[in-house]
Amino acid sequence: MIPHFIAYFYLLIKIVRMKKQLLFLLLLLAACGQKEDTKKNNTTEDKTVTPTASSENYSTSIVTEDDFLNAKNNFKDPTLYDTASFRKNNGKIELPLQDKKQRFAVFKDTLVDAASEDVRQYVYVGQFDKLGLYIVGGSFWEHFECYLINKTTGQQTTIWNDPMPSSDNKYMASLSLRYGLEGIPNGLQLWKIINEAGKGYSLQKYFEIDQQIWIPEDFAWETNETLVLKVFAVQKYWNEAERRPEDYYYLRIRIKQM
């Protein structure tokens, strides 16, 4: 998997707003009992996904830790981590494009203090060479996101977190950021990878799981149509300070062909 640049940048932002977050957490703890009952009764389609949920685009089922470990061991990360190829200069990353009108995709940091709500910092992560896509991470005041940039056209697709394509390069998956802050999605994004003649590869969102039952910690492609997620229950996040091995369980997400 791609190294967790997201976690590092997100931690920096989180430190400078520690007081704000402590207040936020205290309020959450005070309302914990009420929230727990609410989550148990939440049955809205886009926010509740049980371990055996299904939709027109995917199905889920419980699997074992061995299934997850086998998927992790068998999958080969196709990312080219050539971070030294495109170094930041004066707070600016310039990625060369084939487009004659737009020679570079440019990502420029703000020059303000990190405590400012206008903070914006970018890091070049690497590229999917076979797909012709650069990977850039962007860190903001209360948010982090990743960008996949088409080397030919400069088109940018914004995704939640570290991206990883299936072995046949037909799908791209991404987990949500670390759980705990209000308003941040919790689950999985799945994109179709489209080969456009003369324009290279682009992404089209296929489905998005945003729910309040489980928290994803890691995933691996098992086959070209299935992923295995390592997750733990949202309830345990609020009730326990540290994760224990027995807290985790594993989900298989099977992509349905349309």
Q: Which residues contact 25 (CB under 8 A, 6 or more apart)?
A: none
Note the pLDDT of residue 45: 35
**How confident is residue 242, by pLDDT bands cut at 50, 70 and 90?**
confident
**How confident is residue 115, by pLDDT bands cut at 50, 70 and 90?**
low
**Residue 234 vs residue 7, higher pLDDT:** 234
What single letter denotes the amino acid at residue 23? L
In angstroms, the CA 19 to CA 15 distance is 9
pLDDT at 81 > cutoff 80: yes
pLDDT at 129 > cutoff 90: yes
Enter the tokens of residue 164: 């990883």
- Helix runs in the chain, H state only: 5-16, 18-30, 32-41, 65-74, 234-239
Q: What is the mean pLDDT of residues 235-241?
A: 81
Dihedral sign for Cα 155, 161, 166, 167, please. Answer: positive
Sheet holding 200-210: strands in order across? 163-165, 171-175, 187-196, 200-210
**Contact by Cβ (8 Å): 24, 182:** yes
Note the pLDDT of residue 201: 96
Cα radius of gyration rounded to whole Å, the chain: 19
**Distance set, CA 194 to CA 50, 198, 214 (Å):** 30, 12, 30
**How confident is residue 113, by pLDDT bands cut at 50, 70 and 90?**
low
Burial of 18 (C-beta count, 10 Å sphere; 0-12/13-18/19+): exposed
Closest CA to 128 of 107, 149, 146: 149
In angstroms, the CA 60 to CA 228 distance is 9
**How confident is residue 132, by pLDDT bands cut at 50, 70 and 90?**
very high
Q: What is the mean pLDDT of residues 116-126?
A: 89
Question: Which residue do the tokens 């039952």 mark?
Answer: 213
φ, ψ dihedrals at 162, nearest 5°: -50, 120
Enter the tokens of residue 189: 């994004």
The predicted-structure confidence for 136-188, as pLDDT tens digits, reads as follows 999 888 788 999 999 999 999 999 999 999 999 999 999 998 887 677 899 99
What's the whole-model pTM score?
A: 0.78
Secondary structure (DSSP) of 29-97: HHTHHHHHHHHHH---TTT---TT-B-SSEEEEEE-HHHHHHHHHH-----B--GGGS--BTTEEEEE-
